[in-house]
Amino acid sequence: MNFSNVNTIMRRSSLKSRGQQSMISYDVDSTTECKDDSDSCKYTKLVKEFNAETARYHDQLLALGGSSDSEFLRDEMKRARKKACTLAVIIKDTFIPVLNDRNCELKSKRCDYERLWNTFLACVEVLEGHMRKTLDLQKSFPLHAGNCQFIQTGVMEPLGVDNIPVNIENLDVPNVDKMVLEREENNILARDILELRNMLSEMNRSVDIKPWTIEPLSEFSLNRSKSQSSLSDAASLIAFDPHYESRQRRKCTILVLTALATLIAFTTILIVCLFYVVE
């Protein structure tokens, strides 16, 4: 898939962290991180990365056409879109040969691959829908074409423009040329949408896996994933806190002393009771 760069300068901002906050909406349903270099682990990481870029793009889309819209926001959206589409092509080219391979060695992992494929396919459809919304909003709210009134969202400053170096090349571009570049970007986005839609059709033709035929995760697998996640969190806590073991020893010492004191008190009371009974 070919994606053109039109007068774009890539810059870092708080938009990236805002996109990461919404990743949970599209995250893979696995609850543990991969610890090995198996193929299944690599595929899971690819799908997670694609889901993260899709979530970031969705988060940026919310500000499009509002009072915080800006050239920087649209540049960031173009960057996220390009990366997501590139990842989609990589995942498609990686998954299709694996799912079409009927090798006996893959049967044990096929259910996991099918679940990942279904997650990936659904996320591609979500990305395609967001790209269509982006095209409609960019046409309805152009930055350099006339006096277009943006939606007043309560955020007046453009997102992510603080402490960002200005692109000198953009300052020298006349407004008429910016209008041409803006229309060209809309044409590129329309072509990207068409290519993504064609890729979806190719994916559905190449791999015929109905969502209702995919074996769901068993209760045992879910409980095991949760327990492994808890153990992993506990291990990371121990490794992070150097005083963890000393505190645990103090707790054990206090518990032992409390138990001994209770035993001594109980023995004393029992002896006193026996003494009065004997008398």
What per-residue confidence (pLDDT) applies to 225? 53
What per-residue confidence (pLDDT) applies to 126? 95
What per-residue confidence (pLDDT) applies to 6? 33
pLDDT for residue 162 is more than 50? no
pTM reported for the whole predicted model:
0.60
3-state SS, residue 151:
strand
What per-residue confidence (pLDDT) applies to 227? 56
CA distances from 40 to 74, 79, 112, 229 (A): 35, 28, 8, 18
CA distances from 13 to 49, 51, 79 (A): 19, 20, 13
Per-residue pLDDT band at 99 (split at 50, 70, 90): confident
Residue among 128, 139, 142 at smallest CA distance from 69:
142
> What is the per-residue pLDDT across 216-262, written as a single tens digit (0 to 9) for each?
665 544 455 555 555 555 555 555 556 667 777 888 889 889 999 99
Mean local confidence (pLDDT), 184-193: 93
What per-residue confidence (pLDDT) applies to 248? 79
> What is the per-residue pLDDT across 105-130, written as a single tens digit (0 to 9) for each?
556 677 788 888 888 999 999 999 99
Instruction: Supply the mean pLDDT for the chain.
Output: 74
Query: Encoding tokens for residue 74?
Result: 């649209």
Considering only residues 50 and 43, tell me which one the structure prediction assigns the higher pLDDT. Answer: 50
